[in-house]
Structure 1
Amino acid sequence: MHLAVYLPLLFPLFAAPGARRLADRLEPRPATWLLTAGAVVLAAGSTTVLGLLALAGLVRIPLVARLAELSPAVLARDDPARVPVAVVAALLLVAASVAGSRFAYRRVRAVCAAFLEAACFPGQNPLVIVEERAADAFAMPGLPGRIVVSTGMLESLDAAEREILLAHERAHLRGQHYLFTAAVQLAAAVNPLLRPLAGQVAYTLERWADEAAVLESGDRRRVAVTVGKAALAAKNSGGRRRLPAAALGLLGGPRRREEPGPVPRRVAALLSPRPTGGRWRGAVAAVYLTAAALCTADAVQDLHEVMKRAKGG
């Protein structure tokens, strides 16, 4: 194995700075797909390399080498993964596996709870109105999917703004946005360096739904006003969402109140023309991800060649 095996561990470091530029310059739909795919590719690459380094160090142990009928001399000559490096890689691999497994378990439970809760609402009407003073609205995946809106939210908006709100939530359901969130958050759980990408995907998903509402209403300014009013109403009314485990956990967990939200950024984007540029940034990002995938494949092939030589030596 050569030193290029370490490159997939470095790619996530340089992905985060460009994630926000992609989220701002590309249209929300392709930006979401690109950022989600990027997070998955980079997480898979870094995890694979950790496994390769751990395996390369494992076969350097004389007992393991003898059991596998590998030549210690060939391994010592061709494999740069010293035992200390392999130990660190193994520990990181275990931590990533545990974090990823815990996240996957919690997310599967949340999805199942959402589907069950959605099925428990009477009838097939996707719109569910709940009697609550707290202003709230969210999309809940299921068969059928539901749009849950509180009476407090409805009272804070006029008729046209209610239609915009429903168009926004319908876009979440149509696009199966919870799947994007689950994929990118799983990648971030496995590799914490990818958390900025998860944050940007949460933003682009909201922008995706915002632009869908613009297409239905034909008024970017009115959608921007609705986004601001709904966010302000939710903040001022306080309270908690009715189904935090089933709905809130699917489209991004609750943020701490002291953290600024993305609403001003979304409003600014809506008050500007719809983004049409940034294609060259998307092309650069695609090349970047391709390079990361090729480096990972090369590392796998390199270890395979080392094992072949050690087997023959």
Structure 2
Amino acid sequence: MHLAVYLPLLFPALAALSAGPLARRLEPRLATWLLTAAGLVLAASSTAVLGLLALAGLVRVPLVAALKGYSPEVIARHDPAAWPAALAGAVLLALAVLAAARLAARRAGALWSAALEAACLPGTDPVVVTDDPGADAYTMPGLPGRIVISHGMLDALDPAGREILLAHERAHLHNHHYVFVSLAQLAAAANPLLRPLATAVAYSVERWADEHAARHTGDRRAVAEAVARAAVAAKRSRGPRRIPAAALGLFGRRRSAPGIVPRRVAALLAPPPQSPPLLLAAAVALLAATGLCAAEAAHDLHQFLELAHTR
């Protein structure tokens, strides 16, 4: 347990360093699925090993050992985890659970509010055009979800750009991109080392929608121009932008990291992305190693508790 229990705590740092290259070099849909799954696996594994460390320290408390029938002599002799490591694991576990619970509550509230707002929009058409002179376009999750476009955004785009905008937003809506973003944020809340991975997922869903629009129109350069024109129009719009927290849009989510739009435009001006097999294999190997280490640590602790209970 001594070695295996610590590796899942280190792997998220390696994943954080590789998240950006993976999001840029893999096909966007594959990158989104892989990064989201990686975040969940890494967050779950690191949280699990924190729980194992906390449990290893807990059984050394005489009262707990007596209640469970564990031998203090066996526990002291085999020492599954040092006291500092067990204490740190317990504290970090509590912080991780609290942060994940708070984020889950906030995100659920945002999704629920967006769904209610989408249901209250006029008409039954999935696309809703508002009278707002500011340039806005975004997708709101719900049953059904809605695509909201302002007159200011329509005025900023030509007919071809409007078709690209709708294709982009429909990709967000039909592929439920908000789910990927929410899960990546939840993983990052449980393990702050995974925040770059959550940022990479927010980028990859936009790239996924960009590539969908490029396939729909057959003109990558036109999509790049539409993305750039929409971003400039939104930046020039006066007044505060009222975009729901759960919304996704053509020029990215609010408070998105700087430089995302230029990177998306550059990617659209380049050939369609391919997925290098070696890079994909390395990412899968990292996830497999994380799961195996967590399982090995749990197995070692189980064997130790069985030994302590039988003596």
- Residue 269 of structure 1 is matched in structure 2 by 267
Q: Distance in 1 between matches of 2:82 and 2:240?
A: 52
* Amino acid in structure 2 at the alignment position of 1:26: L
Give the match for residue 116 of structure 1: 116
Q: CA deviation at 1:292?
A: 0.3
TM-score in terms of structure 2 length: 0.96
Write the deviation string for residues 147-176 of structure 1: whole angstroms up to 9, x where unpaired: 001111110000110000010000000110
Query: Any conservation in 2 of the 1:79–1:306 contact (CA below 8 Å)?
Result: no
Q: Could you tell me how far 1:231 is from its partner in structure 2?
A: 0.4
Residue 85 (structure 1) aligns with: 85
- Tell me by how many angstroms 1:59 deviates: 0.5
Q: Residue in 1 aligned with 2:211? A: 211
SS for the counterpart of 1:91 is helix
* Aligned equivalent of 2:132: 132
Which deviations, in whole Å up to 9, do the C-alpha atoms of 1:182-205 show, x marking residues without a partner? 100000011000000001111100
Provide the residue aligned with 1:299 in structure 2. 297
| Structure 1 residues 28 and 245, CA gap change in structure 2 (3 angstroms) | closer
**Secondary structure at 1:187 match in 2:** helix
Q: Could you report, residue by residue, the CA deviation over 1:68-113 in whole angstroms, capped at 9, with x for unpaired residues? A: 1101122223233122221111111111111101000011111111
Distance (Å, rounded) in 1 between the aligned partners of 2:155 and 2:292: 54
Distance 1:5 1:179 in 2: 30
Q: Spell out the pairing of 1:54-73 with structure 2 (5 A cutoff).
A: 54-73=54-73
C-alpha distance in structure 2 between counterparts of 1:167 and 1:39, whole Å = 28
Partner of 2:50: 50
Deviation of 1:252 after TM superposition, in Å, equals 7.9
Uncovered stretches (5+) of structure 2, i.e. residues with no partner = none
Aligned residues: percent identity? 61
Residue 254 of structure 1 and its aligned partner are, at CA, apart by 3.0
Match of 2:165 in 1: 165
State the alpha-carbon separation in 1 of the partners of residues 158 and 78 from structure 2: 70
Counting only pairs closer than 5 Å after superposition, residues 201-280 of structure 1 correspond to structure 2 as 201-247=201-247, 254-255=254-255, 260-280=258-278
Q: Per the alignment, in what secondary structure is the counterpart of residue 232 of structure 2? A: helix
Q: How far did residue 246 of structure 1 move? A: 4.8
The 8 Å contact of residues 124 and 144 in structure 1, kept in 2 or not, is answered as no
Please tell me whether the aligned partners of residues 134 and 240 of structure 1 are also in contact (alpha carbons under 8 angstroms). no
Letter in 2 for 1:284: A
The letter of the residue matching 1:82 is: A
The CA deviation at 1:260 is 1.9
Distance 2:246 2:205 in 1: 18
**What does residue 3 of structure 2 align with?**
3
Measured in 2, the distance between the counterparts of 1:147 and 1:13 equals 37
Q: Distance in 2 between matches of 1:34 and 1:105?
A: 25
Q: Is the 8 A contact 2:178 2:247 kept in 1?
A: no
**AA aligned opposite 1:260:** P
Contact 1:185–1:195 (CA<8 Å) still a contact in 2? yes
Asked whether the 8 Å contact 1:2–1:79 carries over to 2, the reply is no
1:28–1:208: 8 Å Cα contact kept in structure 2? yes
Matched letter for residue 169 of structure 2: E
Taking the aligned partners of 1:237 and 1:119, their CA distance within structure 2 comes to: 27
Segments of 4+ moved more than 6 angstroms: none
RMSD value, Cα: 1.7
8 Å CA contact 2:139, 2:248 repeated in 1: no
How far did residue 239 of structure 1 move? Answer: 3.0
- The CA distance in 1 between the partners of 2:218 and 2:253, in whole Å, is 31
- Judge which range, 119-128 or 161-170, deviates more: 119-128
1:187 aligns with 2:187: yes
Evaluate the alpha carbon distance shift between residue 45 and residue 252 of structure 1 in structure 2; reply closer, same or farther with a 3 A threshold: farther
For 2:252 and 2:295, the matched residues in 1 are separated by 32
Distance 1:248 1:241, change over 3 A: farther
Conserved 8 A contact 2:188-2:198: yes
Q: What amino acid does structure 2 have at the position aligned with 1:274?
A: P
Residues 253 and 228 of structure 1: CA distance in aligned 2, closer, same or farther (over 3 Å): closer
Structure 2 counterparts to residues 25-36 of structure 1, below 5 A: 25-36=25-36
Q: Secondary structure at the match of 1:4?
A: coil
Q: Which amino acid aligns with 2:276?
A: G
> Contact 1:241/1:248 (CA < 8 Å) preserved in 2?
no
Q: Distance in 2 between matches of 1:64 and 1:28?
A: 50
